A and B are shown apart, each in its own frame.
Chain A
Amino acid sequence: MNCEHCQEVISVFLDNELDEMSSDSVREHLAVCEECSKVCEDLAMIMDFCQLEADETVIPPNPQALWCRINNVIESEVQAEIYKENKEKIQIAEAEQQQTGWLPRRWNFSFMQVASAVLGIAIISSVLTIVGIRNYTSPNNDLSSVNSEPTLFEKVLGKVGLMETPQAKRARIIKERETAIDYWNKRVEARRTQWNTNLRDAFDRNLNEINQAVSEYTLILEENPQDELSGEMLDSALNDKMELLREFSEL
């Protein structure tokens, strides 16, 4: 028997499953061959150890419990992983927050930008509120208000040009009316030489009457610019004057 053949059958030999003749041949070879003898010893030790382990696990395995344990192990490992990831994220977020304040990174504005936005919103909302209040209360104001002192806020808005004060509005309307009056007056001057005396006299009388009313209201408004009723009457008188000139310019 050579070494190769011996090592092929050595496992069967150790299990006592080899026939007698072959077993004798193996024994003879092991006696003379140190290498195969060593292999045989190693294999015998392994087999002994396995035999011992097999003796210890005599309890029949429970597959359900086994899977439960495996599952618990897997879950605990997964949860540990998730916990670890979350912890990392929180640490990153905390680090970002410390860097940028309470806003997320994409809402990161400079102080000037934020201040401008706040100021803009404040102005717009204030103007809208004032306009809304004025519109809401304007019918009553038109009828009953006589003296309306502008509020401090209205004055400020008027100063910065964001809001037209009643006085500024009146001045603008008067200017517009006077421009129209000048235009129609020139047309009347061109026509009046062709009128008869009665018509000329009547025109002058009526124009003089309206001019007196205009002077009266202008004087009152110089003393009390907040007198809305006089402002309204002045506007009405100027309108009457314009209509008189316009209608007589057709004659």
Chain B
Amino acid sequence: MILKVVKFLKSSATIKTTILLSVVFFFASFAAQEFSAQKRFSKTYSASKNVRLQLTNRTGTVTVEGWDKDQIQISAYLEAPAANIEPQSLSGTILINVVKDNQGRNEVGNVNFLIKVPRTSTVDIETRMGNLNVSNVQGTLVRAHISSEGDITLTNIGASNVSAENVIGDIFYDGDVQQNGNYRFISTRGNINLRIPFNAGFKLVATAPSTRNIALGAFSNGNMKFVGDGRRVIGQSGDGSATVTVTNQRGSISFIRR
């Protein structure tokens, strides 16, 4: 009787071990399959300090970071079916156009970019769908355009011309407002949050016609006035040399002191 019990326990442990191992192998193989499905593209270009990066993506996340090297390092993670990527270097401009490089293809997976550029670069990126992130860039221009949905996050920006535009998604800007600069933030639905220096000098036109939700925060002063039943704010802060235009058709606008 004792022997039977011992035998049963042994066989039971074996079964458990077998089941456990099977589960582990199953997930491991699945993960391996996933890993093998995502390809990686990487390329580095030597570049001048004021190089221009122009990227047009189909879908996926794009992250651009400024660094102290005179190089542009492009890393792309391609989900299956993998897209074609053929960057071009043309007289001070690095061109990547995933839409054009894959025209006529029915199925193209997301392409997630991580690109490092010299801090004083000009950055002009757009995607049909997906998030755009740009940080630590102090060049002449930063433009981030999403044709449809996705969040735009611009942090530690020191450019004199900044443009961010999407349809559905949030826009967050954390950076300078330079003299005579031009800053434009446009969304259809989402929250637009702008974190700018308190002593910035700019003329403002902020419009949120649907929600009438425009929070000026520390920038609320006698020179700012609400018009059109609170749908728009116009006014001036400081010397008013820069221009800030914010339009959010069906969302909110908030100003935060930096």
Chain A residues close to B by CB (< 8 Å): 143-144, 146, 194-196, 198-199, 202-203, 205-206, 209-210, 212-213, 216-217, 229-230, 233, 236-237, 240, 243-244, 247-248, 250-251
Task: Give A163 to B115 CA distance when docked, in angstroms.
Answer: 53
The answer to whether B107 has its CB under 8 Å from any CB of chain A is yes
The answer to whether B157 has its CB under 8 Å from any CB of chain A is no
User: Which of B9-17, B24-32, B205-213 makes up part of the contact surface?
Assistant: B205-213
Query: Whole-angstrom distance from the CB of A53 to the nearest CB of chain B?
Result: 109
Whether B59 pairs with A199 at a CB distance below 8 angstroms is yes
Given contacts A205-B168, A237-B188, contact A248 B209 (CB under 8 A): no
Q: How many A-B residue pairs have CB under 8 A?
A: 75
Whether B167 pairs with A206 at a CB distance below 8 angstroms is yes
Contacts of A212 on B, CB cut-off 8 Å? 250
Contacts of A146 on B, CB cut-off 8 Å? 227-229, 231-232
> Can you list 27 A-B contacts (CB < 8 A)?
A144-B227, A146-B227, A146-B232, A194-B106, A202-B148, A203-B148, A205-B148, A205-B149, A205-B168, A206-B148, A206-B149, A206-B168, A206-B188, A213-B188, A213-B250, A229-B207, A229-B231, A230-B209, A233-B247, A236-B186, A240-B167, A240-B188, A244-B147, A248-B147, A248-B148, A250-B103, A251-B128
Apart from A209-B250, A251-B58: 20 A-B pairs, beta carbons within 8 A: A143-B205, A144-B232, A144-B234, A199-B129, A202-B148, A202-B149, A206-B149, A206-B167, A213-B188, A213-B210, A217-B209, A229-B207, A233-B207, A236-B249, A244-B148, A244-B167, A247-B147, A248-B128, A248-B147, A251-B99
Closest B residue, CB atoms, query A195: B106
Contacts of A143 on B, CB cut-off 8 Å? 205, 234
Task: Give A203 to B249 CA distance when docked, in angstroms.
Answer: 18
Whether B167 pairs with A209 at a CB distance below 8 angstroms is yes
Mask of B104-146 contacts with A, CB within 8 angstroms, 1/0: 0011000000000000000000001100000000000000000
The 6 A-B pairs of least Cβ separation, nearest first, read: A146-B228, A206-B148, A247-B147, A194-B106, A206-B167, A229-B228
Contacts of A195 on B, CB cut-off 8 Å? 106
Whether A209 pairs with B168 at a CB distance below 8 angstroms is yes
Query: Whole-angstrom distance from the CB of A56 to the nearest CB of chain B?
Result: 108
Whether B210 pairs with A216 at a CB distance below 8 angstroms is yes
B99, B148, B250: most-surrounded residue (chain A CB, <10 A): B148
Contacts of A210 on B, CB cut-off 8 Å? 167, 188
Closest B residue, CB atoms, query A146: B228
Given contacts A209-B189, A251-B128, contact A229 B147 (CB under 8 A): no
How many chain B residues touch the partner (CB < 8 A)? 29
Closest A residue, CB atoms, query B107: A196
Query: Whole-angstrom distance from the CB of B101 to the nearest CB of chain A?
Result: 12
Query: Whole-angstrom distance from the CB of A96 to the nearest CB of chain B?
Result: 65
Task: Give A206 to B188 CA distance when docked, in angstroms.
Answer: 9
Closest B residue, CB atoms, query A245: B147
Closest A residue, CB atoms, query B210: A216
Contacts of A209 on B, CB cut-off 8 Å? 167-168, 188-189, 250
Task: Give A64 to B188 CA distance when docked, in angstroms.
Answer: 109
Mask of B144-170 contacts with A, CB within 8 angstroms, 1/0: 000111000000000000000001100
Query: Whole-angstrom distance from the CB of B209 to the nearest CB of chain A?
Result: 5
Query: Whole-angstrom distance from the CB of A186 to the nearest CB of chain B?
Result: 18
Whether A237 pairs with B249 at a CB distance below 8 angstroms is yes
Which listed residue, A199, A202, A229, A248, touches B232 by the CB 8 Å rule? A229
Query: Whole-angstrom distance from the CB of A124 to the nearest CB of chain B?
Result: 35
Mask of B92-108 contacts with A, CB within 8 angstroms, 1/0: 00000001000100110
Task: Give A244 to B249 CA distance when docked, in angstroms.
Answer: 15
Whether A243 pairs with B249 at a CB distance below 8 angstroms is no
Contacts of A196 on B, CB cut-off 8 Å? 107
Contacts of B210 on A, CB cut-off 8 Å? 213, 216
Contacts of B228 on A, CB cut-off 8 Å? 146, 229
Contacts of A248 on B, CB cut-off 8 Å? 128, 147-148
Closest A residue, CB atoms, query B99: A250
Whether B247 pairs with A236 at a CB distance below 8 angstroms is yes
Contacts of A202 on B, CB cut-off 8 Å? 129, 148-149
